[in-house]
Amino acid sequence: MEALKSWIRDVPDFPKPGIVFKDITPLLHSPEGFRLCMDAFVEAHAGDSFDVIAGVESRGFLFGAPLALRMGKPFVPVRKPGKLPWKTERVEYALEYGTDALEVHVDAAEPGSRVLVIDDLLATGGTVGATIELFERIGAVVVGASFVVELAFLGGRDRIAPVPTQSLLIY
């Protein structure tokens, strides 16, 4: 997957000084790069047992929805507060540079459903940790988490253990 690195752009001091943001827009702009990325996700999860794919707002939608379509699975959006029109469960969590909250419809996954979470980036694990908690609250279980990019030096994988975690690129 090292080939994907050519489509990831470093943006220094975004969203605040000292952070080097991993920008995936060049990857999305490249049909070849995006196809390679999606093929890698399909291959990584072809033998996995899960019922639902959840994408975390907003960049997780870009990878989770097409992956769900390709794998014949339902897609569940995990959204920022106030964006979902039905009854929701909500979790507040700490980001690497602030706090936030996420919501999911209370009926997004059946009790006992096995959920694969997709997002663009694993940093400290706060966002995916909140997503795991959301699905636990509605009776589902997160059986895997998959990312385009992982910033290993921030320890996010440890925070979401024991959920199996897969990243296409690790920095």
CATH of the domain at 57: 3.40.50.2020
Look over the chain and give the mean of its residue pLDDT values, rounded to a whole number: 96
The answer to whether residue 124 sits within a structural domain is: yes
The answer to whether residue 24 sits within a structural domain is: no
Query: How many domains in the chain?
Result: 1
The residues, any chain, with a CB within 8 Å of residue 127's CB and separated by 6 or more, are 56, 93, 95, 100, 102, 119
59 flagged as catalytic: yes
pLDDT of 99 reads 84
**Catalytic, out of 35, 70, 92, 96:** 96
pLDDT of 96 reads 60
The residues, any chain, with a CB within 8 Å of residue 23's CB and separated by 6 or more, are 8, 9, 10, 11
Residue-wise burial string across 53-64, b where 16 or more C-beta atoms lie within 10 A, e elsewhere: bbbbbebbbbbb
Q: CA–CA separation, 170 vs 87, rounded Å?
A: 36
Residue 98 or 77, more confident: 77
Residue 16 or 64, more confident: 64
The answer to whether residue 112 scores a pLDDT higher than 70 is yes
Query: Could you tell me the pTM of the whole model?
Result: 0.94
The answer to whether residue 76 sits within a structural domain is: yes
pLDDT of 97 reads 64
pLDDT tens digits for 131-169? Answer: 999 999 999 999 999 999 999 999 999 999 999 999 999
The answer to whether residue 164 sits within a structural domain is: yes
96 flagged as catalytic: yes
Domain of residue 158 covers 49-170
Please state the φ and ψ torsions of residue 8, each to the nearest 5 degrees.
-110, 120
Average pLDDT over residues 110-135: 96
pLDDT of 16 reads 87
CA-based end-to-end distance of the chain: 12
The answer to whether residue 8 scores a pLDDT higher than 90 is yes
The answer to whether residue 92 sits within a structural domain is: yes
Average pLDDT over residues 83-102: 88
**Catalytic, out of 59, 90, 114, 159:** 59
The answer to whether residue 12 sits within a structural domain is: no
The answer to whether residue 152 sits within a structural domain is: yes
